[in-house]
Structure 1
């Protein structure tokens, strides 16, 4: 690819592809420079440093995941929306393991404030509101949801869940059924 065709978006997309192919830790400016056939210094006009490159991959992944979640939960509510949201996460993690790893790192303030992050948060909150949870409880429910999804997917990706029957798909559905039960019976009279 010619140097003139490089943009921040192109460099970040290439970094995401590299992460999916070789692992998130493989993202380096020198690896990308080799991929584009340019000197590493040439990339600094497109990304400030490795940290900003990783933040860019994180934000890219947030946007892609939000788009998938939006399609998945559209027209659904309650248990159906919960399963669709969780399955969208799981499918994304399986298809794009390097980008999924980017989502597991602490987010920079610019990433937290990004449109992509806001979109994913809004979709998640909309799904949870379908359970009639009090607004004050949405943060707690979101944390439980994220911990369950991310924890399960991390263990599944590491092979930690594949040592016995039944298949992990059965456990995945049981976990989502349990979350549905928890969200339907969430206490509404909490003071803090």
Structure 2
């Protein structure tokens, strides 16, 4: 029998909240069942297993992040767009560390192709078009920006910048200036 009020969507939302509280790697169907004070078996009518739950949380996080990024990018171009997009990622990782970790989950190709991850890439490519980065080099530039954003927020989340000057936010702003300059002067292939 399906417990009243439980659905895959509600469990995914609760799983995302749990990930932020205890870490994405600690999210399991059993942990989620404890949150609802039910037996884990009662969740299997909504979820196949813990991996299914993790994929759902990853898709949820990717969509949530894409929605925030799209709202931040509206009407912006160039450095304003780059900064807005970058700040959405950094802020999301700081506000929702478990969801941010979930967004990094490696998805199978079919699931990835249908996910909001595609929207992320499209938004980055739109930013790059504002910089006149040529089409053949856009994939390299997408990877550069993704590596920078993820690397910086991961190091910051793990305390990598807490014991040195200048403050992390000052470095973040300076590095965005440098990325802007690089993108404005993208070298020809």
In the superposition, the TM-score normalised over structure 2's length comes to 0.94
Distance 1:134 1:12 in 2: 39
Unpaired stretches in structure 2, ≥5 consecutive residues: none
3-state secondary structure, aligned to 2:68: helix
Distance 2:43 2:133 in 1: 47
1:149 is aligned to 149
Distance 2:184 2:70 in 1: 22
2:44 is aligned to 44
Whether the aligned pair in 2 keeps the contact of 1:55 and 1:108 (CA below 8 Å) is: no
CA-to-partner distance for each residue in 1:110-143, whole Å, 9 max, x for gaps?
4412242222222121111111111111110000
What is the correspondence of 1:71-86 to structure 2 with a 5 Å cutoff?
Answer: 71-86=71-86
Distance 1:25 1:105 in 2: 10
1:105 shift after superposition: 2.6
Whether the aligned pair in 2 keeps the contact of 1:63 and 1:120 (CA below 8 Å) is: no
Runs of 4+ that moved beyond 6 A: none
| Aligned alpha-carbon RMSD (Å) | 1.4
1:56 is aligned to 56
1:92 is aligned to 92
What is the correspondence of 1:65-144 to structure 2 with a 5 Å cutoff?
Answer: 65-144=65-144
Distance 1:115 1:98 in 2: 18
